[in-house]
Amino acid sequence: MAVGHAQATEGAPQPPAKLSRKEQRALEKEQRELDKKLAEAKAKRAAAPPLTEREREMSEALFVEGVKYVLLEDYTKGLEQLLKAYSLSPDNAAINYKIAEANLLSGNLRDATNYAEASIRLDSKNAYYYLLLAQIQATQKQYDGATKTYAALIKQVPNSGNYLFNLADLYLAQNKLPEALSTLDQAEKEFGQVDEISFKKQQIYLKQNKLDLALAEGEKLIKANPTESRYVLAQAEMYASNNRLPDAVRVAQQALRLDPDNPQAHMILAEVYRQQSQPDEAAQQLKQAFASPALDIDERVRILVGYIKQLPNPKESINQLARDLAAETIKTYPKDAKSYAVAGDIQTLTDHKKDARDTYLKALRLDNSKFQIWQQVVLIDAELNQTDSLLAHTDRALELFPNQSSLWFYNGAAHLLKKQPQKGVKALEHGRKLVVNNPELLGQFDAQLGDAYHEMRLYEKSDAAYESALNSDPNNVQVLNNYSYFLSLRGEKLDKAKQMSGKVVKQFPDNDTYLDTYAWVLYKQKDYAGAKAALDKAMQTTKDGSIIEHYGDVLYQLGDKEKAVAEWQRARKIGGTSDLLERKLKDHKLYE
């Protein structure tokens, strides 16, 4: 009983695809060598004594055992059994084939090649032997060799015309476009109109810049599939991408006659109208596309991301269109977090911050695993000065992302705003330890800690935090202003405070808050005239009661007590003043 061979696939006999003259000569030479080796093998086999019945049975048993181990992916044991079978029957094509396969699977490509070639020499009519050799060659990126192997398969093995498609793919992989085209023409003669052939020929024609031929293949597809809108749409896209815009409109409208709600057709029309500078028509087509449930969520998000890159747009119509499309996406996919996330992004960029925050929260109710969305919620809370929300949302986010330093920063800031400095400092100190390779964020932590430590009267720590912040960014205006102001309140390091505050005022000469800080440093240095000059400028714009109160203090020091009292009275009406103001007004006297 002989060892069984794998069976070739079915199909009608087929001549090889047309090759170049050089390739044809190389193939003929290779075939002559193969025929010579095959004749030698036959002669050797004829000269060798025939196997005994016992040897045949042993060879078959070893073969079966080897195949079993290969199926179990134990390639070492499989090869051991197969090579024993080979020692008894070296001219058995199936044994050579299985040894080649086991070597391929175990990564020994050189032996895999040798045994695969041997299996073909021993049986040149089995398609699987050629396929294995082509696979081994392709694995090694030996595409030219794999191409020749497929060509030989098609020539030698009956019923192998379907492998013309594999051969065409190999030609394409080598960018041998004329050869690939010739092979596909051969396949079309055998199999007739086949969609795969037309698609591949279109691909080749486009690479060759032969648009008319590519479009002709598209027309063949449409004619062969008159009720299939996808072929019409593919043709419309080809027209659109090659700036044949009137044709693109015509064919897209043809697709809509076949499928009136097809979102892709509306998308093509929207893009064409956009290129033709017809924004209203483009918007209408987009809205119709988004109204279709057939437009999937990922395609919607892709389109909306394109709008996000344009936002905020000077044209409110574009901002509104983006919001409308996002709203339609939520309507169609109300249980998908991506709908709300992208809508939140659009609302944020079009300055609908509160709506954006609520939309992000809906996304988080569906999927709370996205840190970026939590971050957006927290940033909006901070921007809207909604401290209770900021505290609640950072607390929830930190349960999920305890290692995110930015969340600790905003959590600490929220506690400080809630007049909970101990909790704020604890959060800030912990978050600061988590900062890695981010000097800017580190500086923000230090700035907040400087404010917090001052509030807790831990002045050495406050100064150290501010110094660290200035090491990260020597021009941090907030730190320069606050540090110098707090030093002035304490009456310490006044020269340093003057230098820092002066640096800020030089950069922002009309800012009333910074002018007030500078004036107060001068005041503490008893430079009342200098303080008045700075506050005179601040008085032109300020509506801050504490700054007006300071102005009254300076006037009092300069001896203008009547004007000082008038400024104190004005400060009281505005509010935000010191606890000493009432005493000043009662006694018409300065208290510090």
pTM metric for this prediction: 0.66
* Cβ-proximal residues to 207 (8 Å cutoff; 6+ apart), any chain: 177
User: For the chain, what is the mean pLDDT?
Assistant: 90
Range in 51-60, 344-353, 582-591 with the lowest mean pLDDT: 51-60
Mean pLDDT of 72-82: 93
Range in 1-5, 405-409, 480-484, 485-489 with the lowest mean pLDDT: 1-5
pLDDT of residue 192: 84
pLDDT at 18 over 50: no
Whole-number CA gyration radius for the chain: 41
CA–CA separation, 390 and 409 (whole Å): 11
pLDDT in tens, 174-192: 899 999 999 899 888 888 8
Mean pLDDT of 293-319: 91
**Who wins on pLDDT, 101 or 5?**
101
Quick one: which of 405, 350, 407, 402 has its CA closest to 373?
Answer: 407
* HSE (side-chain half, CA atoms, 13 Å) at 352: 17
CA–CA separation, 230 and 199 (whole Å): 13
Q: In 3-state terms, what secondary structure has residue 89?
A: coil
Tokens representing 1 are: 């009983």
Task: Give the N- to C-terminal CA distance of the chain in Å, as an integer.
Answer: 115
pLDDT of residue 48: 59
Task: Grade residue 492 by pLDDT with cuts at 50, 70 and 90.
Answer: very high
Range in 37-46, 456-465, 498-507, 577-586 with the lowest mean pLDDT: 37-46
Percent of the chain with pLDDT over 90: 72
Q: For 171, phi and psi rounded to 5 degrees? A: -60, -40
pLDDT of residue 224: 85
* Cβ-proximal residues to 494 (8 Å cutoff; 6+ apart), any chain: 487, 488, 521, 524, 525
Enter the DSSP assignment of 16. P
What are the angstrom distances between the C-alpha of 300 and each of 73, 89, 262, 280, 303? 45, 63, 14, 19, 5
What are the angstrom distances between the C-alpha of 6 and each of 74, 132, 358? 21, 12, 65
pLDDT at 16 over 70: no
pLDDT at 11 over 50: no
CB 144 within 8 A of CB 108: no
* Cβ-proximal residues to 208 (8 Å cutoff; 6+ apart), any chain: 177
Where does residue 509 rank: exposed (0-12), middle (13-18), buried (19+ CB within 10 A)?
exposed
Task: Grade residue 72 by pLDDT with cuts at 50, 70 and 90.
Answer: very high
pLDDT in tens, 509-529: 999 999 999 999 999 999 999
pLDDT of residue 261: 87
Range in 35-49, 250-264, 338-352, 512-526 with the lowest mean pLDDT: 35-49
Quick one: which of 337, 351, 274, 334 has its CA closest to 306?
Answer: 274
* Cβ-proximal residues to 192 (8 Å cutoff; 6+ apart), any chain: none
pLDDT of residue 4: 37
What are the angstrom distances between the C-alpha of 240 and each of 20, 157, 251, 271? 36, 44, 10, 8
pLDDT at 2 over 80: no
* Cβ-proximal residues to 35 (8 Å cutoff; 6+ apart), any chain: none
pLDDT in tens, 120-162: 999 999 999 999 999 999 899 898 899 899 989 999 999 888 8
CA dihedral 182→185→189→194, nearest 10 degrees, is 140
pLDDT in tens, 206-236: 889 999 999 998 998 888 888 888 889 989 9
pLDDT of residue 499: 97
